[in-house]
Structure 1
Amino acid sequence: MKKSSAIHFLVFLATVLIAITLPFYLLKYSFNWQDLAKVTQNLPLINTAVEKIEPFISLPPPLRAEKETPDSFLTVQGVFVWTNNARRNNDAPPLVLNDEISQAARAKVGDMFNNQYFEHVSPSGLGVDHWVEQTTYRYIALGENLALGNFTDDQELVLAWMDSPGHRENILNESFEEIGIAVKKGTYEGKQTWLAVQIFAKPLSSCPAIDENLSLEIENNQKQLSAWSNQLENLNARLKSERPRGRASQAEIDAYNALVEQYNQLADDYNTLLEQTKVMVDQYNQQIAAFNACAGGS
């Protein structure tokens, strides 16, 4: 064979060899490129997975007296006794009279007289949660009963609430453990009358604790996953644009494969953190579910 022919033959063999081996250099990239679509699709699942704590608040329509008694007289202690009497007659555990919740009830009665309204929410948008949160009391569930009128006495007032389905439900709700009460006589709509408030509550301490550190860790992981997702997309774009074409030099192939390794390592890190975060989200949501179930009976 002539020398020139031999050289041409060797060049031909080298070209064939490169054509055969180059796909193997790129094989790992091609496989992980498909994985990118999978991992980036998983990220939104975490962003929407974590549930929120929902405090329970029961607000039956305010009750007005059907008849008026000239010598009407109401007391906090009497309302408390007759309320627990109703619970006892219906096999519900007694409520504990709480000073802080009673403070909130007194504030509510005063605000209704001062601003001349008879609703659960004031004209300025303040509800029962506002009045309770002005104290140091922390709750998971609240209920509020309101009454207006010159009821004969405490017993008649509680009986009127018991004859109203929504108010009765609050009084007998076994989830509620504590109560605050306020009664006050004053001028409403131009006449002397009584306003009465019952605030029922379940303290926060009654329900399973929630690991807020776990919530913070999930949030930090979400931020990291989002950052890595952007990096993976950028690397993916580079892998597409910088993929060797034709007769690539070994330096080009080495540089490209280094980029592939960088992508693959980041994809592995992403997938590992994603799976860890999914487990954490499940744990946190189980805590939230247990917490809400505890309040929910509310």
Structure 2
Amino acid sequence: MAVLPDLPQTEIAIVELTNAFRKENELGAVTSHPALAAAARAFAEYLARTGTFAHEADGREPQQRIEAQGYRHCLVAENLALNLDSRGFATAKLARDVVEGWKDSPGHRANMLLAGATEIGVGVARAPDKHPKFISVQLLARPEALKVEFRIENRTGGPVRYRMGESAHTLPVRTTVTHTSCSPRALAFEGAAAGPWQPAAGDRFVVRGEARALRVEVERRR
């Protein structure tokens, strides 16, 4: 007789394995959120019931499904897995197979290692088949309340060039720009001796001086 897993315990184990993987990569843990778990479980059950397997199988995108559960997001990523074995799965084995499969896939791996993610929801459902077959859905997200908004002011006599993570920007003379970020990204100014900085909500960066000797004054919200 095939071995069958405890699905709620499998969901818990997937969260634990995901956090262990994030810790190995020096990232913070994600905490379970009931709205994300409800969205993940409902979609896993839908995929299992309909025999479909795609991120938009129900005509919606992941962000629409979590919004329907009342979750206001800043960022969201979704992983799907399908596991089938005639011998069945013990709880720990199914969780391990799901997470290891995601680790081996660049896109899924990147989702599990989203630096900005702070919350998670996992749903696992059994699909009709002559052999034990399971659909797993994982949602990683950051709530809208944790978005980071900060300002940069150019008080120099020329354009200011800076980088946020891998993206380059140029701020014209005597102008101000407001950035909103959902993922932690280092901020560095070309020509400034200090930095880089990790912007926090409400920060104000005032750039003064000349092109090759910029001074950056940082005002932090208290």
Bucket of the pairwise TM-score, normalised by the shorter protein: 0.5 to 0.7
**Where does structure 2 lack aligned partners over 5 or more consecutive residues?**
151-174, 186-222
Q: 1:185 aligns with which of 126, 132, 142?
A: 126
Q: How many residues align?
A: 150
- Matching residue of 2:96: 155
Deviations 1:122-176 (A, max 9, x none): 1x52121221011121001110000001363212221111111111111111111
C-alpha displacement at 1:295, in angstroms? 4.5
> Does 2:59 match 1:133?
no
Q: Tell me how far apart the structure 2 counterparts of residues 165 and 109 of structure 1 sit (CA, whole Å).
A: 22
Q: 1:294 aligns with which of 174, 182, 185?
A: 182
Q: Tell me how far apart the structure 2 counterparts of residues 153 and 113 of structure 1 sit (CA, whole Å).
A: 16
Alpha-carbon distance change, 206 to 183 in structure 1, aligned in 2, over 3 angstroms: same
Alpha-carbon distance change, 86 to 72 in structure 1, aligned in 2, over 3 angstroms: farther
Alpha-carbon distance change, 72 to 169 in structure 1, aligned in 2, over 3 angstroms: farther
Contact 1:72 1:153 in 2 (8 A): no
Q: Tell me how far apart the structure 1 counterparts of residues 94 and 142 of structure 2 sit (CA, whole Å).
A: 27
Q: Tell me how far apart the structure 1 counterparts of residues 102 and 26 of structure 2 sit (CA, whole Å).
A: 18
Kindly provide the amino acid, as one letter, of the partner of residue 117 in structure 1.
T
RMSD: 2.3
The TM-score with structure 2 as length reference comes to 0.61
C-alpha displacement at 1:72, in angstroms? 5.5
SS in 1 for 2:182: helix
Kindly provide the amino acid, as one letter, of the partner of residue 137 in structure 2.
V
Contact 2:45 2:126 in 1 (8 A): no
Q: Tell me how far apart the structure 2 counterparts of residues 130 and 140 of structure 1 sit (CA, whole Å).
A: 13
What is the aligned-residue identity percentage? 27
Q: Tell me how far apart the structure 2 counterparts of residues 130 and 144 of structure 1 sit (CA, whole Å).
A: 12
The TM-score with structure 1 as length reference comes to 0.46
Q: Which has the higher strand share?
A: 2
SS in 1 for 2:52: coil
Q: Tell me how far apart the structure 2 counterparts of residues 166 and 98 of structure 1 sit (CA, whole Å).
A: 23
Q: Which has the higher helix share?
A: 1
SS in 1 for 2:40: helix
Off by >4 Å, runs of 4+ in structure 1: none
How does 1:191-202 map onto structure 2 within 5 Å?
192-202=132-142
Alpha-carbon distance change, 186 to 167 in structure 1, aligned in 2, over 3 angstroms: same
- Matching residue of 1:142: 76
- Matching residue of 1:41: none
How does 1:90-109 map onto structure 2 within 5 Å?
90-109=25-44
Kindly provide the amino acid, as one letter, of the partner of residue 78 in structure 1.
A
C-alpha displacement at 1:71, in angstroms? 2.8
C-alpha displacement at 1:114, in angstroms? 2.7
